Amino acid sequence: MEIIECIKAIDEYKAKGKEAIAGGFRSRSRETPTYIYTHGLPYAITLLAARSSKSLLENGLLQDTATCRDVVERVLSLEKDEKKASYGLYGALVLYIMEREGLIKSRTFSDLVKEMLQNPTIEAKSKPIFEWFKRLSEAYFKSEHGAE
């Protein structure tokens, strides 16, 4: 399961002193499914872009991206603000997995939003991706407040 490789790549950054990135990713993983269920997938993806940038999310759509590690390294090299980086990283990795699973074909953020609005089955088929990211990030990255 490639999602585990994504989590491991973030865990390596955590071990290098980037605990805030891992904690922010965990928070994004826990809150985003709620937005999907209440407002829909296009809204949730747009919210992630608004809180980081569309260009950070587009790193998950690039055809030349070989691995999750590549996405993690690219996003974290482009954004130094840890909060924005956690939103961008989460969004980029979700899109990377969605693309790898054959759920989306878009290469730009604007095309992605159009594709999701025109094909509502993407939302239903992508929900397990969000749930896996949530559970795995909870397993790998403990809350900074100790609350589970």
pLDDT, tens digit, for every residue of 51-110?
A: 999 999 999 998 776 899 999 999 999 999 999 999 999 999 999 999 999 999 999 999
For residue 110, the SS3 value is helix
Whether the per-residue pLDDT at 7 is higher than 50: the answer is: yes
For residue 123, the SS3 value is helix
* Prediction pTM value: 0.93
DSSP, residue by residue, 24-48: HHHHHHHHHHHHHHHH-HHHHHHHH
Mean pLDDT, the chain, whole residue set: 92
The pair of structure tokens assigned to 7 is 């989590």
